[in-house]
Amino acid sequence: MKHELPKLPYGLDDLAPVISRQTLEFHYGKHHQAYVNNLNNLIVGTKFENSDLETIIHEADGGIFNNGAQIWNHTFYFNTFAPKPKLEPTGKLAEMIIKDFGSLAEFKEKFSKAAATLFGSGWAWLVVDQSGHLEIKQEGNAGNPLKINLTPLITCDVWEHAYYLDYQNRRPDYINSFWGVLDWNIVESRLK
């Protein structure tokens, strides 16, 4: 199975000024594409040659895991955004956030802190655990909550290539802006 770079659901200018065209050209067009190219080269002649990304995340390690998980993580991340997003959750997800975090503001504060304090590169995730509760997880490098049977709802990429062109070393400013393009309609659709 040859993996391909999925198309963005919006134009390269549509998330500006939160995420600029230049950042998308590099982050999506170069970094995301590199993970696809690397994985396609690494899986030739292995048991993962015809595997989907979820199988690779659950079963692989090393370079195959890292590149497969990074493709999945980036696709999930980019597909969470919209040029005119719904800015607050409603319904069941809103109720879960209040139950598990106290309020939307408290959730955003805790999630933002997890993203800002992750040492090095990686991802902050909002997930649903096996008992149906929401949790915030920090995952270094290519870490992905599917590997431990959690259901991801939101991720914030805190690798420097996600924000450096727009925010330089100001990771907290990027995280604060992230909420302005995150579409809660999309997040709600991921809740099973």
| Together in a domain, 64 and 121 | no
| Together in a domain, 74 and 122 | no
| Together in a domain, 97 and 183 | yes
Q: What single DSSP character describes residue 81? A: B
| Together in a domain, 51 and 100 | no
Specify the CATH number for the domain of residue 62.
1.10.287.990
Please say whether the beta carbons of 28 and 78 come within 8 A: yes
* Per-residue model confidence as pLDDT tens digits over 109-143: 999 999 999 999 999 999 999 999 999 999 999 99
Please say whether the beta carbons of 131 and 160 come within 8 A: no
| Together in a domain, 127 and 178 | yes
Specify the CATH number for the domain of residue 149.
3.55.40.20
In a domain, 106, yes or no: yes
**pLDDT in single tens digits along all 192 residues of the chain:** 899 999 999 999 999 999 999 999 999 999 999 999 999 999 999 999 999 999 999 999 999 999 999 999 999 999 999 999 999 999 999 999 999 999 999 999 999 999 999 999 999 999 999 999 999 999 999 999 999 999 999 999 999 999 999 999 999 999 999 999 999 999 999 997
Domain boundary, last residue among 78, 101, 125: 78
Into how many domains does the chain fold? 2
> What domain range includes position 29?
21-78
In a domain, 14, yes or no: no
Q: Which of 143, 153, 139 is nearest to 190 (CA)?
A: 153
